[in-house]
Each structure stands twice: as structure tokens, then as C-alpha cells.
Amino acid sequence: MNLLSIQRDMARAVMTPLTPSERMRNAGPDGRSQRTVANGIIKANDRLTSFERLEIYNRQYWFRVLSGFSEDFPGLRAVLGDPLFDKIAQAYLRDCPSRSFSMRNIGAQLASWLTTHPNFAGPRQQLALDMVRLEWAEINAFDGKRYDPLKAEDLTDTSSAKLRLKLQPHLSLLDLKYPVDDLVLRVRKDSTEVSIASNTLSERHKDKRSVSVVPLLKHTPIFLAVHRMDEDVYFRRLEQKEFAILSRLRNGKSLGAAIEGVLRKSAMPDEGCLLLIQKWFQNWSALGWFCRGTTDPTNS
């Protein structure tokens, strides 16, 4: 057996989901005996069999990824409660195993997965989706790329209408049905720090006090920007027109086209609307949300 085969067998065995009692399964996803696999890649010693030694890696892998998943999505846990959250975590990680060297990316597919598995969240499906989108945006804001921002004077040039602005990669724009930004802040205020399992998943401390705030949440659509500034992550609520302009810019519209589209749909007089938009751009520029894209001779 060559090194590549050993690495693949090891990875496959380690990433095989545990049994309900949190032990290694007797067979892997391909039906092969895990004992046979273990005997082929790990030597027994005077205390443990090959299977038992492989089981240590298998269990620690799952304890770590499940713990990391829980740390990344405390709001979702508050929305759904412990039993359902743990069920979703295990089902999601079984369907979407980690493919990255970094634990940071473990929840990257959760929103799309939850969308195609609505039976898990039931009547709280939309609330759960909004929470996942916000918590993933936080992760992106925390360590997403940041380019040199444009200055306010870059947006006052007479040719700026044809300018195509890029938004910072760490900035996320969210159209949400629930004010989950309030919920996240309340969960963090009411919850104590969750400890990581040392031996088994069931041994980790779970603070259930955060769940009690969820019934107070009402259906209230909001527009939200999640961004990083001075190494801290912030939520900023947007007006609908603000969100519309920023979304058009993110989708590749020129500056002029993005503003024109909002003016066309606005009941506010153009002069008043333009003054408001100018104020918004000053704020966005001060927050460093813009970086330069490419200039196009035509206005889309």
C-alpha cells in the first residue's frame, strides 16, 4: 500500500460519522470493515488494538468539528434548541463534510443545505435561515479580504457616474425577514461561554437560557450590512433604498445606473432623494466600504 492509499483510507475512516453512542462504526461508507482498514494502516500496541487506536482519531475529529460548528452558530442553537440543533449539525456535516484545511469554512454550505432540508427547522425555517445567513456573514466579515478603500473625493468626480465600484469582500448585504441582529446580541448577553468537550460530545456544557428569548422575536423585515472596521465586526441596519443601491453596485451596475434605478422607483422628489443618497455615500465611504473596480465607457 502506497502513501496516498494510506492517507485516503485514514481520512475516510476518520470522517465516518460516529454511532449514536459516539463510537466508531464497524463499517465505513463504502461498506468496508473498519477493523480491516485499521489493521492496514495502524499498528496495535500493548494497550490498544488497531481499531481502538483509529477510533481515537475518529471520535476526536467529530468532537472537534461538532464543537466548532456549535461555536460558529450559537444563534441557530438558540432558535432551534439543543436537541434539534445537534441533529441538524450531525446531518449537515454528514452530507457536507469538511473539504478545507480551515475550520473557518465548516458552515459555508449550511444556508443552502437548510434551504433544501426544510423539514429539520419546521415552522422556524425562515427564522433559522435568517440566523444562519447572519452568522455566516459575521464569519466572512471577521476574516474576509479588505482592499484599500476609496476616499470620499473619489466619488465626487464628474465622470463618477460611469464608475463601477466594488464593495469590500468582507461586507455582506442581507435582506432578512426577522430582526435576528437583535437576537444574536441578546443571545450573547444572556449566555455564558460554552465549553468544548474534553471526552465526549454529550459532556459539553449547554446553556439553555438563550433559547427563552426566541419566542419574543416577531416577523419584522430588515435590511442589514455586516462589515469589519478596525478589526471589529459590526451590524448596520439600512434603509430599503440604501440596500437597493448597494446591491446594484455589488451586482456590477455602474454608479449612475445604480442611483438612477432607485430614483426611478422613489416617490420622493429627485432633489431630496439625491441629498439623501449623497449622505449615504459619505457614510459608506467613511466606513471604507468601497474599493475601485474598472471603468466602462457605457452606462449599464
Q: Calculate mean pLDDT across residues 277-286.
A: 89
Task: Assess contact for 183 and 202: CB atoms under 8 A.
Answer: no
Task: Assess contact for 226 and 137: CB atoms under 8 A.
Answer: yes
Band of residue 209 on the pLDDT scale cut at 50, 70, 90 = very low
pLDDT of residue 2: 87
Task: Assess contact for 130 and 183: CB atoms under 8 A.
Answer: no
3-state secondary structure 40-62: HHCCCCCCCCHHHHHHHHHHHHH
d(CA 11, CA 151): 48
d(CA 101, CA 105): 9
Residue that the C-alpha cell 464497524 belongs to: 26
Task: Assess contact for 253 and 193: CB atoms under 8 A.
Answer: no
pLDDT of residue 100: 83
Q: What single letter denotes the amino acid at residue 267?
A: A
Nearest to 131 by CA among 91, 167, 78: 78
Band of residue 183 on the pLDDT scale cut at 50, 70, 90 = confident
- Parse the chain into domains and list their residue ranges: 147-179+218-300
Cβ neighbours, 10 Å, residue 259: 22
Q: What is the pLDDT of residues 24-70, one digit of tens each?
A: 999 988 899 999 999 999 999 999 999 999 999 999 999 999 999 99
Task: Assess contact for 78 and 183: CB atoms under 8 A.
Answer: yes
The C-alpha angle 127, 132, 136, rounded to 5 degrees, equals 155
Pinpoint the alpha helices (H) of the chain.
3-14, 34-41, 50-72, 74-80, 82-95, 110-115, 125-143, 180-190, 240-250, 255-265, 270-286
Does residue 161 carry a pLDDT above 70? no
pLDDT of residue 269: 61
Q: Which whole-number Å values give the CA distances from 204 to 77, 85, 170, in the listed order?
A: 14, 14, 32
Nearest to 149 by CA among 283, 240, 257, 254: 283
Beta strand pairing status for 232-238 and 290-295? unpaired
d(CA 276, CA 236): 17
% of the chain residues with pLDDT over 70: 82
The answer to whether the Cα torsion of 124, 66, 75, 175 is positive or negative is: negative
pLDDT of residue 202: 40
3-state secondary structure of 225: strand
For helices 180-190 and 125-143, the axis angle rounded to 10 degrees is: 80
Does residue 221 carry a pLDDT above 70? yes
CB under 8 Å to 72, separation ≥6 — which residues? 106, 107, 135, 139
Which helix (H) or strand (E) segment holds residue 164: the answer is: strand 163-167
